[in-house]
Structures are given as structure tokens and as C-alpha cells.
Amino acid sequence: MSEVKVEREVWSLLSGTRQRELRVALEGDEYVVTLRGRQTRVRIEDPRQWNGSGAGKAGSGIAKVASPMPGKVVKLLVAVGDFVEIGQGLVVVEAMKMQNEMKSPIAGTVTRVQAEEGATVTANQVLVVVETDAG
């Protein structure tokens, strides 16, 4: 399959002898993809922003920050008792030759660090726990 950008938001897709027109428009934080009159909404999320548990999305409570994929812990950036801000780096995991910094989705105190530098981790393994009302 080959694709060619024809104009802003319009792509031509060629597969064998079939040609299709694909439209991709950004609306807020989603893309609206239109193909053959059918629309699909797509949201692209950065797995480094996931906290692995769904907790902490409202900016409060407990956030269990997990590795989005198997890898190796390259560096711990925090220790138990540290106060962290929203978006502050907690741990760096190397996966597929790329380093990914896991960030805190909430402001609070680090209550658990469940990883060690050099350790191998699995996908969805909780690495750091942050609580807003710890202490």
C-alpha cells in the first residue's frame, strides 16, 4: 500500500489497482477519519502518560504508575517520601532501545517505589505509587 498527501487533510491510498481517498481532520483532541463516507474518531494517546490503573485521572487520590511495556529500569528519579508535581518524572524505563520517562499524573507524595535500577519489568507492572493525602 502507498499513500500520498493530496492536500491539507486529504490522502490518496493506493493498494494494487484500488485507489481510495482518506480525509483526516483534527477536532479538539481527536482525529476524524473519513473513508468511503464513513467517519471514525481516533484519539492518539502517549503510553508514557498512562498510570496503569486508571486512578488519579481527576488529579487526586492514588496513582499507580506502571510500565506501559516490558523493559528495563534505567533510572529512578524519586524515592519514598518525595513530593512530586503533576507531570514530574518518576522513573525511566528502556524498551525497544527507547527510553521512556513515566510521569506522575497527580501531585502528591511517593508512598512506594516498586522498582530498582537495572531491573527488568513487565507490561503494566506498577513501578511507583503516588498519593495526594499521604503523610
Tens of each residue's pLDDT in the chain, 135 residues:
888 889 999 989 888 898 989 999 988 878 888 988 888 888 776 655 554 444 434 445 889 999 988 999 999 999 999 999 999 999 999 988 889 999 998 999 999 999 999 999 998 899 999 998 755
Residues 26 and 85 in one domain: no
Judge whether 22 and 4 are in contact, CB under 8 Å.
Answer: no
Q: Residue written as cell 473519513?
A: 34
Whole-angstrom distance, CA of residue 15 vs CA of residue 91: 43
pTM (2 d.p.): 0.56
Residues 68 and 110 in one domain: yes
Domain harbouring 79, CATH code = 2.40.50.100
Q: DSSP labels for 46-89?
A: -GGG--SSSTTTTS-SEEEEE-SSSEEEEEE---TT-EE-TT-E
Q: What is the pLDDT of residue 50?
A: 55
Whole-angstrom distance, CA of residue 14 vs CA of residue 2: 5
Domain residues for the domain of 17 are 2-42
Residues 87 and 118 in one domain: yes
Radius of gyration of the chain (CA): 20
Residues 126 and 70 in one domain: yes
Q: What is the pLDDT of residue 48?
A: 57
Judge whether 93 and 72 are in contact, CB under 8 Å.
Answer: yes
Q: What is the pLDDT of residue 3?
A: 86
Non-local (6+) Cβ contacts of 70 within 8 A are 95, 120, 121, 122, 123
